[in-house]
Amino acid sequence: MNAQKALQALRAGYNRFVDNNQNHKSKSLLFSQQFAEAQHPKAVIVSCSDSRVPPELIFDAGFGELFTIRTAGNVVSDYDLASIEYAVVNLEVRLIIIMGHSSCGAICAAVEDSPSDSVHLTCLKEAIQPVIKEGMSIDEVAIAHTEDIARSLTKRSHTLESIEDLVITSCFYRLDTGEMSWGLR
């Protein structure tokens, strides 16, 4: 599936989610067994680990439809980047979406920059902090961070840079309203 068709399918899934008209047939055990031998996801979704933003539900996607990578604050480590490259090269996925969201705890931690005994949490905050500018709200930082990740993927990966028909974009989900802003990049 090319990137534009995949994006249309995800937007349609999101619209079903918003309209509370989800397609549940693709979420059964019987349906999942069809993917025992191979997978052909429409898109890679890099999303926050926050339990309030499950991409499969928000995009009304079932088994085999999304290659999802979830990390706090959607920070993309080298391991995550390798997973993205795997999906693009081996599964021929041509759409990558970086999905940020409002009220993100990892973004709050980076903005507040309170001391932490955790080396790993400190690394997470340091990955987010370069986009922070004086006076930005938590959500503005989250949007800037999401856009920065989308822009930086091809700079960080020669593999992704070499795929001519690859589309990388971003979106931002508002927890309080369910509104999705698309194509922030």
Q: Which tens digit of pLDDT belongs to each residue from 72-113?
A: 999 999 999 999 999 999 999 999 999 999 999 999 999 998
What pLDDT does residue 185 have? 46
Give pLDDT < 70 ranges for the chain: 24-32, 34-36, 184-185
What is the pLDDT, as a whole number, of residue 39?
84
What residue ranges define each of the domains in the chain, with the CATH number in brackets? 3-103+140-182 (3.40.1050.10)
Say if CB 131 and CB 141 are below 8 A apart: yes
Residues 6+ apart with CB under 8 A from 169: 7, 95, 96, 97, 98, 150, 182, 183, 184, 185
